[in-house]
């Protein structure tokens, strides 16, 4: 599914997403949990840490500080969003090892947005930005993507994460991530991770849209 990157950036800045379910407004005191931090940092390290930009010391990951909240981007032909139950069933069809308990947990936790805070102990530099900082860049006259990369040289663009849902036994984790990198450059996908010997590893990434 292809979407205009401009629409995606605006959605980030105003804290809105395409919703299948009504979600609770962000509580300024809410923060993602320690296990969620561990999963997200493990994904960042697995995706970025081995790249050349890290080996030469220029790697940087920029993350929006608010989880997306109902980021599901599947739509029916009549223009209505697909229910989470149907979307979860589709995800389990694409990855048979994905447990229903995991998708159920994700569906429950992701209805409430939460904050990510510094510092993130990644293998590369992880910078967390709030909406005011992004607005200063992407507002009219703010410089847009050239200004973004001038401020964050070596970055991979802007990442936005959902909350993380865990299986009942704590061995699976499911979340959604969108990455925007300028122009018609971006993608969104679900990530299934599994815990192996005290470490989280990527089991499957299921693409939802690409621009």
Q: Where are the domains of the chain?
A: 5-210
Q: CB within 8 A of 105, min separation 6: which ones?
A: 165, 166, 167, 168, 174
Q: What is the mean pLDDT of residues 30-57?
A: 81
Q: How confident is the model at residue 37 (pLDDT cuts 50, 70, 90)?
A: very high
Quick one: how far is CA 124 from the chain centroid?
17
pLDDT bracket for residue 50 (50, 70, 90): low
Residue 47's pLDDT is 85
Task: Provide the 3-class DSSP secondary structure of residue 125.
Answer: strand
Angle between helices 131-138 and 144-151 (to 10 degrees): 120
pTM of the model: 0.84
Cα first-last separation, the chain: 8
Q: Are strands 165-166 and 186-196 parallel, antiparallel or unpaired?
A: unpaired
């Amino acid at each position: 599914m292809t979407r205009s990157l401009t629409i995606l950036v605006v959605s980030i800045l105003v804290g809105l997403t395409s919703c299948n379910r009504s979600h609770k407004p962000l509580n300024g005191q809410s923060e993602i949990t320690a296990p969620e931090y561990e999963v997200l940092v493990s994904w960042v390290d697995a995706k970025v840490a081995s790249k050349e930009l890290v080996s030469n010391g220029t790697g940087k990951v920029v993350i929006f500080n608010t989880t997306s909240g109902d980021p599901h981007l599947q739509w029916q032909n009549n223009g209505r969003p697909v229910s989470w139950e149907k979307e979860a069933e589709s995800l389990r069809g694409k990855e048979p090892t994905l447990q229903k308990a995991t998708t159920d947990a994700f569906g429950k936790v992701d209805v409430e947005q939460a904050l990510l805070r510094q510092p993130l102990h990644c293998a590369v530099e992880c910078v967390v930005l709030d909406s005011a900082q992004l607005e200063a860049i992407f507002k009219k006259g703010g410089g847009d993507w050239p200004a973004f990369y001038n401020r964050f040289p070596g970055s991979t663009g802007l990442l936005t994460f959902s909350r993380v849902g865990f299986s009942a036994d704590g061995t699976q984790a499911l979340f959604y991530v969108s990455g925007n990198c300028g122009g018609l450059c971006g993608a969104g996908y679900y990530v299934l991770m599994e815990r192996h010997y005290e470490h989280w590893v990527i089991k499957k990434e299921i693409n939802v849209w690409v621009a």
